[in-house]
Amino acid sequence: MYNEIITYYSKNPFNKFEMEDCTISHFESNELCWDDLTIYIKIKNNKIENWSFTWDTAIITTACSGVFWESIIWMDFKNILKLDYNYIVKIIEDEVSDRRKKASVLGLLTTRNAIHKYLKDWIVDDFDDVIK
């Protein structure tokens, strides 16, 4: 059974929109459960000024992406690129089943790859990089 945070954020995704003035956007998918996520990031001084997303995702992806967004506003890129599944567990205050781990980190993975794209560092993270 999902905890209150997951239930609330899956029903009330505050940042569900395509940001028109974003600095960069990025798409990722989780082929295990067919989740598709596009994020839009506004960047200022190598920090996340704003973050939004559009999706065709499961409840856990929607909720974890929503909670994740709130936690990274004004966070420095260096810190975001260090985040992994353990960070998601911390902010949603609950473990996720092995079957749903990829869904829970899709917003994080997409954000890390958007940052890499913005930095032009030629790094592409995958699920193994964020689920340790």
pLDDT tens column, 16-62 = 899 999 999 999 998 877 889 999 999 999 999 999 999 888 888 98
pLDDT at 10 over 90: no
Q: What is the distance between the alpha carbons of residues 116 and 66, in angstroms, rounded to a whole number? A: 21
Which alpha helices (DSSP H) does the chain contain, by range?
A: 4-11, 59-72, 77-80, 85-92, 101-119, 127-130
pLDDT at 1 over 50: no
Interval 70-123: pLDDT, tens: 999 999 999 999 999 999 999 998 888 898 999 999 999 999 999 999 999 999
Q: What are phi and psi of 27, to 5 degrees?
A: -115, 140
Q: Which CATH class is domain 16-130?
A: alpha beta
Q: What is the distance between the alpha carbons of residues 48 and 45, in angstroms, rounded to a whole number? A: 8
Contact 72, 64 (CB under 8 A): no
The answer for 31, left when phi > 0, alpha when psi is -120 to 50, beta otherwise, is alpha
Q: What is the distance between the alpha carbons of residues 108 and 90, in angstroms, rounded to a whole number? A: 13
Type of residue at 101? K
Which of 13, 28, 24 lies closest to 102, judged by CA?
28
Domain ranges of the chain: 16-130
